[in-house]
Amino acid sequence: MSDHQFVEMSAVQIAAGVRSGAFSAVEVVSAHLSQIANHEGEVRSFVTQMGDRALAGAKAVDEKRARGEELGALAGVPVALKDNMAYRGVETTCSSKILKGWIPPYTATVIERLESAGAIAIGKTNLDEFAMGSSTENSAFSPTRNPIDLSRVPGGSSGGSAASVAARFAPIAIGSDTGGSIRQPASLCGIVGVKPTYGLVSRYGLIAFASSLDQIGPFARSVEDSSLVLDVISGHDDRDSTSLSSKSYSHQPLNGEVKGLRIGVITEMLDGLSPDVERALNQAIESLRALGAIVEEVSVPAAKFGLTAYYLIAPAEASSNLARFDGVRYGVRVEGKDMNETYELTRGQGFGPEVKRRIMLGTYALSAGYYDALYGKAQKVRTLIANDFDAAYGRFDALISATSPTVAFEFDSKSDPLSMYMSDVCTIPSNLAGHPAMSVPFAGDEDGLPIGIQVLAPSFGEGVMFKVAAALEAAADYRPVPQWASTGK
């Protein structure tokens, strides 16, 4: 079997083949490492590559099979990991200078669960510094490029993870989603990205951006693969106080049957869409209707305030979470004449412009005299958003919208922060509500750039969410490929 055949396989196909002995985990990992060697220089999706460690892990899986031992659901499947998740013995930077050289003494629960299921980590992926951004241009090390069109961004903040899957460097990857950081890059790179219900997946080992919003989830090239990965990584964890006590997700066969389901189209998310994105959303609506779903518009009135509320709540939590990076306990230290100057120099040189902007905004929102007027009011808006979504789910089984108002944009094309923040206008409300949502590639614009459709569901509604997503996937006639594959280079 050729390297090309291996890198085009799904996670489900790889795991089945390794378990049956049709091919080895070493062959699979070697093929993906070869793909990385050939094209990573163009994409720059990784902060740290783990080739030797990955091959050793693959050999261990093959030896386990040779002994007749049972293999896990992801046996031999390469996985790329966003570099804001701790991995013992592997540098973890959050793509920030302030953490360069930091080696965690512990491993995130999500990574432990993936490895227990037989998955093999091949590298830590690039991101917007501390997950703050929508293009992966804010990395302290280098921007990541979109494999579908190398002149464009992959989205963010999990742009490295999304790009690694789109580039066929791994069939699955893990990201974190605080305001759309899984779904938006999934849409821009033409893959599937899932933000689960808040608390369904442990955040232990995730370096926090905004603790009440962050959630870990999978990237994949198919809805089936993303469902399987969520099954593996979900479930209670005593080490995470926000982990739900009894809930987990169980992967089920997905047949795309949506006949009779009531699906709402969120009217507040129809404004500001590019013509191509609007056209794709209308095509998705008609496809679902053709499959027997009842699709109608529904209003979620408070959703239009989501962006405003988010950019008070998230920076406020970030200013608190990032206070720990002081040059004393972690990473880089810049010496000053006294401790105060050491703090100032370390943080001044260690953090990039976007992180500093959000720390200052969050500190201001939490300051005496402004707390009630800004942060307190934003939390009230958050409650209104959750209540309005609950009302919508009283009438509909699931909701849909565009994932991103535009396709992938060119580097340096969004020069002011607000235009960049608008990239997440469709994804932020579900983070504020704590509900699950995912992006499914559905169409391409006139230049072939991917357009994703967002499927939203009530808390613990992942089952119906994946059902609708599978129907959209089956109805889509668009399958994006890396630029080098489409040009034959």
DSSP per-residue string spanning 152-186? B---SSSHHHHHHHHTTS-SEEEEEESSSTTHHHH
Q: Where do the domains of the chain lie?
A: 79-301+388-487
pLDDT digits 0-9 by tens, 382-399: 999 999 999 999 999 999
Nearest to 360 by CA among 311, 425, 309, 326: 311
Tell me whether strands 398-402 and 450-456 are parallel, antiparallel or unpaired.
antiparallel
Is residue 326 pLDDT above 90, yes or no?
A: no
Mean pLDDT, residues 347-356: 94
Is residue 487 pLDDT above 70, yes or no?
A: no
Mean pLDDT, residues 191-203: 98
pLDDT digits 0-9 by tens, 62-106: 999 999 999 999 999 999 999 999 999 999 999 999 999 999 999
Q: What pLDDT sits at residue 481?
A: 96
Q: What is the DSSP letter of 211?
A: T
96 is catalytic: no
Name the percent of the chain lying above pLDDT 90.
91
DSSP, collapsed to helix, strand or coil, labels residue 340 as helix
The residue assigned the tokens 């001044």 is 348
Mean pLDDT, residues 22-30: 98
Options 82, 97, 195, 414, the catalytic residue: 82
Options 95, 139, 176, 181, the catalytic residue: 181
The residue assigned the tokens 């967002």 is 454
Options 157, 234, 423, 439, the catalytic residue: 157
The residue assigned the tokens 């093929």 is 31
CB 213 within 8 Å of CB 200:
no
CB 442 within 8 Å of CB 451:
yes
Task: Please calculate the CA angle 426-429-434 and round it to the nearest 5 degrees.
Answer: 135
Distances (CA, A) of 458 to 60, 194, 381, 399, 436: 40, 14, 18, 9, 7
pTM of the predicted model as reported, rounded to 2 decimal places? 0.97
- The phi and psi torsions of 433 (rounded to 5 degrees) equal -80, -20
Mean pLDDT of the chain: 96
Would you state the structure tokens that stand for residue 277, as one six-digit string? Answer: 């994105």
10 is catalytic: no
139 is catalytic: no
Distances (CA, A) of 21 to 14, 93, 275: 10, 37, 49
Q: What pLDDT sits at residue 1?
A: 86
By residue count, the chain amounts to 489
Mean pLDDT, residues 44-69: 98
- The phi and psi torsions of 486 (rounded to 5 degrees) equal -75, -25
CA distance 213 to 430: 9
Mean pLDDT, residues 139-168: 98
Is residue 361 pLDDT above 60, yes or no?
A: yes
First to last CA, the chain: 21
Q: What is the CATH number of domain 79-301+388-487?
A: 3.90.1300.10
pLDDT digits 0-9 by tens, 230-267: 999 999 999 999 999 888 899 998 988 999 999 999 99
* Residue spans of beta strands (DSSP E) within 91-140: 120-125
CA distance 35 to 18: 19
Nearest to 242 by CA among 200, 187, 305: 200
Q: For the CA atoms of 303, 308, 312, 315, what is the dihedral angle to 10 degrees? A: 90
DSSP per-residue string spanning 402-467? ESSSSSPPBTT---SHHHHHGGGTTTHHHHHHT--EEEEEEEE-TT--EEEEEEE-STT-HHHHHH
